[in-house]
């Protein structure tokens, strides 16, 4: 029972009850019986938070977060600014400095709070990383059985060959019942997610009970640890083809990262968090955490089937009005219902997917795909990138989102997120860009920028590039067709991007986006506007000072 001594040493816990490494069935029952908190605005703090469907333990657990935390609380996420680490970490608005002395005081008060209430805490012992070369032991300790079940779904269990486990272990303490006092605790509000790179602690307090906090906190840690070992940690999906050819796909929400990596002809390594070591690529996780809103069950059959499987976890999908969740078949839930949040979620084990690569590992990727969904309608459907362009577009991390849901508002908004996951990147962006360029150079990777957005005009005027064309472009890239000797290209005069003149299965007219616009002058104006946004963002972020060359 080594964890009791560890937790007393770390947090001063002496009068709590532990329920360690329960089965998912046991956690299912415990969550329904014991997870209490606020689930509606103005509601009490003692409502039931977890429910069964009519399938009982043969189906999913349904969980409701605090209504103020239906996604990651980025403005309340911090790193402890120990002097010896301060210069290495990439501080930003969604990862701010936290005073070490304040953190030590807060840890002590949280421990006293748990002792005073004689809390029951659920413990889960897992790992982060499927390869012992970089994997670290990860111990979850928290008040909610639901969170322990989520951690069981999302992280690998029993990774053999990890050396010096006790010296590498990370501990996440999740205490929703402790509401922080900013004046005393040094937080910005009553909640906080605080990462301590020195003491290997993640502390979550207050109304921050969104399940993804337990996943992304540890991903942020791995993005610090893995590059320190000379490897790459990446916010990307990965798969392996029948030739044993690996591929990785970077992309922000809405660009097709999960959809395009789920290919019946290729084995899935992972859909979100991947490492690239000297051995190849491997998954940091053992599960998937998918968005459920507007799920197309025909297009996403794996997720649809997993909705009815035991041990899975549905987050923030309400029962239809007048119905009790206990009466519902999971397949009858309204997945278009965004009355709680647009960010409805679903956690399920990786093995719910029938086509997973053995050990969640693969070879060095032959193909690197940077995904973007350009709602301005001006970027080429596919572009061939050299090493300098890879670094540039990787640190820019461009996509676009629609300006809102009000009638008549159709103007796209540019979104830039460095390394396609800026909030989780603990080192400065150049660390990851240089790491990616070195890996590609050493292992011969080729790279494309794949646009899954609009053509013929911006959103509201043009049309979304068809999934058929996107798949054909991706398949050609995976087969090496776009990079083969003799392939012909033209260079975009505004974006300086190299566009193939032909691709199997795709009308060559669409490969140059200007061709699909009726008003060529309007195209040029829109393209120049986006190019200028790229240039301004590059300058504002200071990427040139980090050694990234401007290519646009």
**Residues with a known catalytic role:** 72, 216, 235, 253, 257-258, 272, 345
Compute the C-alpha angle 192/231/78, nearest 5°: 10
Eight-state DSSP code of residue 89: B
Residue 36, CA distances (Å) to 32, 57, 110, 514 in order? 9, 19, 18, 56
Q: CB count, 10 Å around CB of 413?
A: 12
Token duo for residue 533: 């946004």
Backbone angles phi, psi at 283, to 5 degrees: -85, 135
Distance CA 362, CA 240 (A): 6
Of 117, 189, 127, 124, nearest to 158 by C-alpha is: 127
Q: Are 22 and 122 in contact (CB under 8 A)?
A: yes
Which residue matches tokens 């890879």?
390
3-state DSSP: the chain helix, strand, coil percent, rounded to 5?
35, 25, 40
Eight-state DSSP code of residue 302: H
Distance CA 332, CA 69 (A): 26
Distance CA 14, CA 7 (A): 9
Q: Are 388 and 434 in contact (CB under 8 A)?
A: no
Helices (H), 461-500: 467-478
């Amino acid at each position: 029972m080594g964890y009791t001594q560890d937790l007393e040493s770390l947090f001063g816990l002496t009068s709590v009850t532990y329920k360690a490494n329960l089965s998912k069935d046991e956690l299912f029952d415990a969550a329904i019986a014991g997870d209490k908190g606020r689930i509606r605005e103005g509601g009490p703090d003692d409502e039931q938070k977890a429910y069964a469907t009519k399938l009982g333990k043969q189906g999913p657990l349904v969980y409701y977060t605090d209504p103020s935390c239906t996604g990651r609380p980025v403005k309340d996420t911090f790193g402890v600014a120990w002097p010896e680490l301060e210069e290495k970490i990439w501080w930003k608005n969604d990862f701010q400095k936290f005073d070490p002395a304040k953190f030590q005081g807060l840890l002590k008060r949280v421990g006293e709070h748990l002792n005073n209430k004689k809390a029951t805490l659920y413990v889960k012992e897992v790992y982060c990383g499927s390869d012992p070369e970089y994997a670290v032991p990860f111990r979850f300790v928290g008040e909610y059985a639901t969170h322990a079940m989520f951690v069981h779904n999302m992280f690998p269990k029993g990774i053999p060959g990890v050396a010096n486990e006790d010296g590498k272990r990370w501990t996440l303490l999740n205490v929703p019942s402790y509401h922080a006092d900013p004046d005393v605790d040094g937080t910005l509000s009553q909640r906080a997610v605080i990462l301590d790179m020195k003491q290997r602690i993640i502390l979550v307090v207050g109304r921050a009970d969104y399940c993804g906090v337990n996943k992304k906190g540890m991903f942020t840690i791995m993005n610090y640890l893995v590059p320190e070992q000379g490897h790459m940690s990446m916010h990307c999906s990965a798969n392996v083809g029948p030739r044993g050819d690996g591929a990785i796909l970077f992309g922000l929400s809405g660009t097709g990262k999960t959809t395009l990596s789920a290919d019946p002809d290729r084995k899935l390594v992972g859909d979100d968090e991947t490492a690239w070591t000297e051995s190849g690529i491997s998954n940091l996780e053992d599960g998937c955490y998918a968005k459920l809103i507007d799920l197309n069950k025909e297009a996403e059959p794996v997720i649809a089937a997993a909705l009815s499987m035991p041990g899975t976890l549905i987050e923030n999908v309400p029962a239809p009005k007048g119905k009790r969740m206990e009466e519902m078949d999971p397949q009858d839930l309204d997945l278009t219902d965004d009355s709680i949040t647009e960010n409805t979620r679903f956690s399920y084990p990786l093995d719910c997917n029938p086509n997973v690569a053995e050990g969640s590992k693969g070879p060095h990727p032959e193909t690197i795909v940077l995904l973007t969904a350009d709602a301005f309608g001006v970027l080429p459907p596919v572009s061939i990138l050299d090493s300098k362009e890879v670094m540039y577009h990787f640190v820019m991390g461009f996509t676009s989102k629609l300006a809102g849901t009000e009638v008549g508002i159709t103007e796209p908004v540019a979104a830039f997120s460095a390394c396609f996951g800026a909030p989780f990147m603990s080192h400065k962006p150049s660390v990851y860009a240089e790491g990616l360029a070195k890996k590609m150079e050493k292992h011969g990777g080729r790279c494309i920028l794949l646009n899954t957005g609009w053509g013929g005009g911006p959103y509201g005027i043009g049309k979304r590039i068809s999934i058929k064309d996107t798949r054909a472009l991706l398949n050609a890239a995976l087969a090496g067709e776009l990079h083969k000797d003799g392939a012909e290209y033209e260079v975009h005069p505004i974006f300086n991007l190299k566009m193939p003149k032909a691709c199997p299965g795709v009308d060559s007219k669409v490969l140059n986006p200007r061709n699909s616009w009726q008003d060529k002058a309007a195209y040029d104006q829109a393209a120049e506007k986006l190019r200028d946004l790229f240039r301004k963002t590059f300058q504002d972020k200071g990427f040139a000072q980090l050694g990234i060359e401007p290519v646009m």
